[in-house]
Structure 1
Amino acid sequence: MTDARSSIDPGTLRERALDALTRARDRTALLTTCVEDPDLTAQHSPLMSPLVWDLAHIGNQEELWLLRAVAGREAMRPEIDGLYDAFEHPRAERPSLPLLSPDEARRYAADVRGRALDVLESAPFEGHALTEAGFAFGMVAQHEQQHDETMLITHQLRRGPQALTAPDPAPAPPYTGPSEVLVPAGPFTMGTSTEPWSLDNERPAHQREVAAFHIDALPVTNAAYQAFIEDGGYDEERWWTPEGWAHVRTHGLRAPLFWRRESGQWLRRHFGVTEAVPPDEPVLHVCWYEADAYARWAGRRLPTETEWEKAARHDPATGRSRRYPWGDADPTPEHANLGQRHLRPAPAGSYPAGASALGVRQLIGDVWEWTSSDFLPYPGFTAFPYKEYSEVFFGSEYKVLRGGSFAVDPVACRGTFRNWDYPVRRQIFSGFRTARDA
C-alpha cells in the first residue's frame, strides 16, 4: 500500500483520519436520532437491515479492525460478533436476532470510538500494510459512510412523516453544451496503485486500450426517462434483455421505484414527502434492466466500466489519469453533490467546475451510474485485507456502478471507486448515462 502520499507527516495523516472518522460518526448520529426507537428497531423493507443493526455493526467493524487487528486488544463483546457479521445473517432475518437495543448500540459504538481514537494517536503509519498511510482508519471511515448511505436508503423506504431535511441544490443555468462527448481511442491507465485509501478492487493500476466512443455529457434526466415510459417502453419486449423482460412482467414494473401517475402527472415519494417528479434531475431508483432498456430504446447502450472511467479520468492533453474528473484535488461543494448535504440529485448540467477534461459533467456525485460491466477483478488483483470485501462478489451476478451519489461522502468516492449490485436493485440511489460507438 506504499504511496507517495504516505510521505505526508504522520500528524497530517492523523488529522485526515480523525476528520473522516468524525464526519462519518456525525452522519451516523443524525440518521439514528431523527426517528424514535421503534423506527430504529423496525425492518422497513426485507431488503434492508433495521437501522439499529447498522449502528451496532458499524461499531463492531471498527472494533474488529482498529482495536483488535491494529492495536491487538481483546474483544470487548465477543458474543455479539456473529450477530453483526453481514455474511452470517441475511438482512431479512436480522430483526429476529437478539440485537442490542438502540441505547446499548449507541453506548457500544461510542465506547469503541473512544478507544479507537486513543489508538489513532499512537498507531504507526508506516511499516505495516494495514496501517500504512492510515489505511485501516480510512477503511473504517469508508465502511461507516457506506452504511450511512445504506441507512439513508432505509429512510427513503420508511413509511411515515418526514424525518430528514436538507437544503436543495442550487438551480442550474440551462446547459447549452453538446449532448454527448467523443472520447478518443487509445490507452489509458485504469485503477490505482497510488491512492493510499483505495480498496482492493480498485487495484492495481493497469493499461487498457479503448476504442473511440461517444458518452452522454449529462446523466439521463427524469424528463428523458418519462419519454421512454410514454412511448410504451415498459410494454415493448424488444428493448429488454430476456431476464429484464421476465423481471418487468413478474413484478409489474411501470416506472422508477417510488413513482406513481396521478391526474396526468408523475409524482414520487421522497423521504416522506410526495412531490412532482422534477424533470431536470437525473433519473433515480432505476435498476440495471431499466437503464439498459432505456439505452436500447434511445438507440444507444450503457457504457462499459472501462469507458466510464476513461471518460471520467483521462486527460488527453497529458495522457495521464486524474484522481477525479476535474483533477487531483479533493472534492469541494463546487465540484460535486456529495455527503448528504442535499437529499436529492442536482439538476442535470450542474457543477461545471467538476467536469472532466473532455467536458463530461456530474460523473461524481448525484446518482450512481450503472455500467454494462460485470463486477470482476483487475489483472493482478490481490484481496486485502479480507476476501469478503470484494473477492466473494466477483462474477456475472453483479453489475458495476460508478461515480457515487448525493448520499456518498467524499472519503468513499473517487474516480477509481467501484460499487456493485444485483441488476434488479432499485432502492439504491442509482441512475445512468448512455454511450455509443464512434
Structure 2
Amino acid sequence: MPPQDETTRSSYQHFVNLTAAYSRVRAFTEQLCEPLEIEDYVLQTAVEASPPKWHLAHVSWFFETFLLRPFLPGYQAFNPAYAHLFNSYYEQTEAGFWPRPERGLLSRPTVAEVYDYRRHVDEAMMRLLNACPPEHEATVRARIEIGLNHEQQHQELLITDIKYNLAYNPLRPAYRADLPATPQREPAPLTFSRFEGGLHWFGAEGDGFAYDNESPRHQRFLEPFQLADRLVTNAEYQAFVDAGGYRDPALWLSDGWAQIQSQGWQAPLYWEQLDGQWHETTLAGRRPLNPAEPVCHVSYFEADAYARWAGRRLPSEFEWEHAAAGRPVSGQFADAGRFHPQPAAGGEPLEQLFGDCWEWTASAYLPYPRYRAVDGALGEYNGKFMSGQMVLRGGSCATSASHARATYRNFFYPHERWQFKGIRLAEDIA
C-alpha cells in the first residue's frame, strides 16, 4: 500500500518509476544480444571493441560496485573475482581491473555464468529498490539513474562493437539479415540555417538527468554562423574520395595525414569496392552504398578534411547546442531497431540533429568553467578523460531516444571510427 504523507508518497513513486526503468533498460541489453551466436560473445577484434560478454557483465558490475555493496545490507557477491575482471577503468576501487586489450582472451566465466550474474544482480537490485534505507534514498536514486544511463551507453557500444567484430570477418556475416534496407535515391539538396550569434547559455539545467560534464551552466559568445540543414551524405563524401581527398596532404591535419599513411585509409570504415562499385558493411551484412544516406564511421580527421575540401568547417559544440536548444529530441534512434542511419527527408531546417549519426564538432573535450568532478571512484566517469579527445553531439541510430538531449557531450579520440559518427557542416557569416 502506498504511503499517505506527501513527501514519503513522492519518494515511493520515484522508486516505482526507477524500478520500471531498471527492468526496461536491463531487458533491452539482453534483447540486443538475442541474435548472437555463442561464439560471438567472446570476440574482441580491436582494443576499443569489447566482447559482448564483457559488456553484459560490466554493467552488472557497475550496479554491484556502486549500489549493492555499499547500500544493501548483507549483500553477497556472485563471485568476488568479478570485481577485478569486469571493472573497466576505475582506479579508486580496491580490486583494480583486467587490461582492456585482453578482455577477449577470457573464455571463462562462460556466457551462461554471466547471465546468471546478471540475474543475481537484478534480484539484489529489486531488494534494494523495495527496501532502501531512508538515510540513503537520495544517493541511491542518483546512482541508479547514473547506472541506467551507463547501461544505455553500453547498449550503444554493444551495437557498434558487434558490428565491428562481425565486419572483421571476410564472410561479412549479418547480425540480423532481416534489417530493412533504405531504397536507393538521390540526396536532398544541401541548405543552411542562419544564426545571428551573441551571448547565450550552455549546459544542463532543470531536474532531468545529465552527466557532470554537462555542467555548470554558463554563458559564451558566438559569432554569427550558418549550420547545414542535414548531415553530409555518402554521395557527397564519395565525391571527396573520387577527387583524391585521401591523397592530398593539404587537406589534412598533421596527425590525420600520419594516420591515413600508417593505416592505409582510402575511404570511411566499412566501405569497400566490388566490381567498381562502392559497398558498405552494415549490421545486415554487405550492401550497395546508398548515396542519400549520411556518411558514417568517419574519424574527426576525415570530417575535418572533408569540411576543408568543401570550403566550409565543422561547427563548435556550442554552435551545435545553440541550434539544437529547445528543439524536440526526435530522430532515428536504436528504439527503431534499424541500427543504420537514414536519409534526410529534405526541405526542413536542421534535420537529423538527433539520431542517425553522432556529429563531430571542432571542440576539444574540456571542462566547463567551474567544473569539479565528484569525489571517489564515480568522479572518474568523465572528468579524467578531458584530454586529447573531441566532442560529438546528437546521438546516433545506436543510441536510445531516452538517452539523448541537446546538452549531451559525447567524446572520442580523433582517429576513432567504429562508432556511428557523421558530419554536419558549418560556415561563418561575414
**Bin of the TM-score, shorter chain as denominator length:** 0.7 to 0.9
Q: Could you tell me which of 286, 306, 320 is aligned with 2:318?
A: 306
Classify the secondary structure of the residue corresponding to 1:130. Answer: helix
Change (3 A) 1:237 1:175: closer
How far apart in 2 are the matches of 1:161 and 1:174?
28
**Inter-CA distance 85–173: structure 2 relative to 1 (3 Å threshold):** same
C-alpha contact (below 8 Å) 1:48/1:92 kept by paired residues? no
Pairwise CA distance, 1:144: 1.0
Cα offset, 1:167, TM superposition: 5.0
Deviations 1:156-213 (A, max 9, x none): 1213532325654887999878711111211221111324321110111111211111
| TM-fit CA distance, 1:290 | 0.2
Equivalent-residue separation in structure 2 for 1:198 and 1:126 (angstroms): 23
TM-score after normalising by structure 2: 0.87
| 2:42–2:104 CA contact under 8 A, matched in 1 | yes
The code of the aligned residue for 2:65 comes to L
2:339 aligned with 1:343? yes
Matched residue count: 407
Give CA deviations for 1:123-163 in whole Å, capped at 9, x if unaligned: 479986534xx322221111111111111112212135323
State the partner residue of 2:351. 361
Q: 3-state SS of the aligned residue for 1:78?
A: coil
2:308 partner amino acid: R
Which 5+ residue runs of structure 1 have no aligned equivalent?
A: 1-5, 314-321, 353-358
1:276-315 residue pairs with structure 2 within 5 A?
276-313=288-325
1:50 is aligned to 51
Q: Which residue of 2 aligns with 1:229?
A: 241
Structure 1 SS opposite 2:392: strand
Task: Give the Cα separation in 1 of the matches to 2:214 and 2:60.
Answer: 25
Q: Write out aligned runs for 1:275-424 (5 A).
A: 275-313=287-325, 322=326, 325-326=327-328, 331=329, 335-340=330-335, 341-349=337-345, 359-384=349-374, 386-395=378-387, 397-424=388-415
Contact between 2:185 and 2:291, CA under 8 Å: does it hold in 1? no
Distance in 2 separating the partners of 1:245 and 1:32: 37
Q: Which segment drifts farther, 366-375 or 190-199?
A: 190-199
* 1:61-100 alignment runs, 5 A limit: 61-71=62-72, 74=75, 76=77, 77-87=79-89, 88-97=97-106, 99-100=108-109
Partner SS, residue 26 of structure 2:
helix
1:152 aligns with 2:164: no
**Selected match of 1:118 from 117, 127, 140:** 127
1:406 Cα shift? Answer: 0.7
Q: Secondary structure of 2:389's partner?
A: strand
Query: Would the aligned equivalents of 2:42 and 2:107 in 1 still touch at CA under 8 Å?
Result: no
Aligned to 1:29: 30
Query: 1:339 Cα shift?
Result: 2.4
Kept in 2, the 8 Å contact 1:218–1:349? The answer is no
Moved more, 268-277 or 65-74: 65-74
SS at 2:360 equivalent: strand
Distance 1:178 1:236 in 2: 25
Q: Is the contact made by 2:186 and 2:291 (CA closer than 8 Å) also made in structure 1?
A: no
* Contact 1:221–1:283, Cα closer than 8 Å, also in 2: yes
1:273 and 2:275 are equivalent in the alignment: no
Q: CA contact under 8 A between 2:190 and 2:230: conserved in structure 1?
A: no
Q: Please report how far the alpha carbon of residue 64 of structure 1 lies from its aligned counterpart in structure 2 after TM superposition.
A: 1.5
- Kept in 2: contact 1:305–1:400 (CA 8 A): yes
Q: Which amino acid aligns with 1:59?
A: S
Aligned with 1:182 (options 188, 194, 198): 194
